[in-house]
């Protein structure tokens, strides 16, 4: 992850992934 956007890109990517996972879980996408 180093080099491409630095820490900002990594932080944004992590937040984006967590948000997507939250939406999937809230919709029952994993079948739980």
pLDDT (tens digit per residue) in 1-32: 455 566 666 788 889 989 998 988 888 766 65
pLDDT of residue 12: 84
d(CA 23, CA 9): 21
CA angle 26, 14, 25 (to 5 degrees): 10
pLDDT of residue 25: 85
pLDDT of residue 27: 84
pLDDT of residue 28: 78
- The residue behind tokens 């739980």 is 32
pLDDT of residue 9: 66
């Amino acid at each position: 992850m180093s080099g491409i956007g630095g820490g900002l890109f990594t932080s944004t990517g992590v937040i984006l992934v967590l948000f997507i996972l939250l939406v999937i879980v809230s919709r029952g996408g994993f079948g739980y």
